[in-house]
Structure 1
Amino acid sequence: MSHYTLLKKENKELQTFYQKYCITPPPHADWAAQYQGTRITAYQSGKILFQGKNAEQEYYRWQKEEKEEKEPSSSSLSQLSLIGSDEVGNGSYFGPLVVVAAYVTKEDIPWLTTLEVADSKTLTDEKMKKIAPQLKEKLPYQALIVSPKKYNAIQPRYNAVKMKVALHNQALLLLEKRIEKENQPLDALLIDQFTSEKNYQQYVKEEKEQPHHPVLMRVKGEQEHLAVAAASIIARTLFLEQLEQLGVPYHLTLPSGAGEKVDQVGVELCRRYGVDTLEKVAKLHFKNTQKIKAKL
Structure 2
Amino acid sequence: MVTAGVIVDPEAVPLLQSFGVDDSKKIADAKIPGLAAEIKKICYGKYKVLHLKPVKYNEPYEKFQSQGKNLNSILSWAHSSVIEKLVEIQSVKLVVVDKFANENLIENRLKKLDSTIQLVIVPKAEQNIAVAAASILARDAFLRWHNEVKMEHGIEFPKGASTLVIKAGRAFVKANGAQGLREVSKLHFKTAEDIQLAERK
Aligned AA for 2:99? Q
Match of 2:25 in 1: 121
- Distance (Å, rounded) in 2 between the aligned partners of 1:101 and 1:129: 16
* CA separation of 1:247 and 1:147: change in aligned 2, threshold 3 A: same
- Distance (Å, rounded) in 2 between the aligned partners of 1:107 and 1:204: 27
Aligned AA for 1:234? L
- Distance (Å, rounded) in 2 between the aligned partners of 1:206 and 1:108: 29
Q: Which of these residues, 156, 168, 180, is aligned with residue 62 of structure 2?
A: 156
Match of 2:167 in 1: 264
Q: Name the TM-score, length of structure 1 as normaliser.
A: 0.61
Q: Which has the higher helix share?
A: 2
- On the 8 A contact 1:149/1:279 being kept in 2, the answer is yes
Unaligned runs of 5+ in 1: 1-96, 181-185
Does the alignment pair 1:112 with 2:16? Answer: yes
Match of 2:84 in 1: 173
Q: How does 1:278-289 map to 2 (within 5 A)?
A: 278-289=181-192
Secondary structure at the counterpart of residue 10 of structure 2 = coil
- State the shift of 1:154 in Å: 1.2
Secondary structure at the counterpart of residue 257 of structure 1 = coil
Computed over aligned residues only, the root mean square deviation of the Cα atoms, in angstroms, reads: 1.8
- Distance (Å, rounded) in 2 between the aligned partners of 1:237 and 1:149: 19
* CA separation of 1:193 and 1:112: change in aligned 2, threshold 3 A: same
Aligned AA for 1:170? S
How many residues are treated as equivalent by the alignment?
190
- State the shift of 1:284 in Å: 0.6
- Distance (Å, rounded) in 2 between the aligned partners of 1:227 and 1:277: 36
Q: How does 1:49-88 map to 2 (within 5 A)?
A: none
- On the 8 A contact 2:12/2:42 being kept in 1, the answer is no
- Distance (Å, rounded) in 1 between the aligned partners of 2:11 and 2:152: 44
- On the 8 A contact 1:101/1:175 being kept in 2, the answer is yes
Match of 1:20 in 2: none
- On the 8 A contact 2:84/2:110 being kept in 1, the answer is no
- Distance (Å, rounded) in 2 between the aligned partners of 1:136 and 1:215: 24
Match of 2:153 in 1: 250
Aligned AA for 2:120? L
Aligned AA for 1:102? V
* CA separation of 1:205 and 1:130: change in aligned 2, threshold 3 A: closer
* CA separation of 1:242 and 1:164: change in aligned 2, threshold 3 A: same
- Distance (Å, rounded) in 2 between the aligned partners of 1:133 and 1:98: 17
Match of 2:67 in 1: none
Does the alignment pair 1:145 with 2:51? Answer: yes
Does the alignment pair 1:239 with 2:142? Answer: yes
Does the alignment pair 1:131 with 2:42? Answer: no
Match of 2:4 in 1: 100
Q: How does 1:187-266 map to 2 (within 5 A)?
A: 187-195=93-101, 199-201=102-104, 203-204=105-106, 210-212=112-114, 213-223=117-127, 225-266=128-169
- On the 8 A contact 2:107/2:119 being kept in 1, the answer is no
* CA separation of 1:192 and 1:205: change in aligned 2, threshold 3 A: closer
Secondary structure at the counterpart of residue 283 of structure 1 = coil
- State the shift of 1:208 in Å: 9.8
- Distance (Å, rounded) in 2 between the aligned partners of 1:188 and 1:169: 14
Q: Name the TM-score, length of structure 2 as normaliser.
A: 0.88
Unaligned runs of 5+ in 2: 65-69
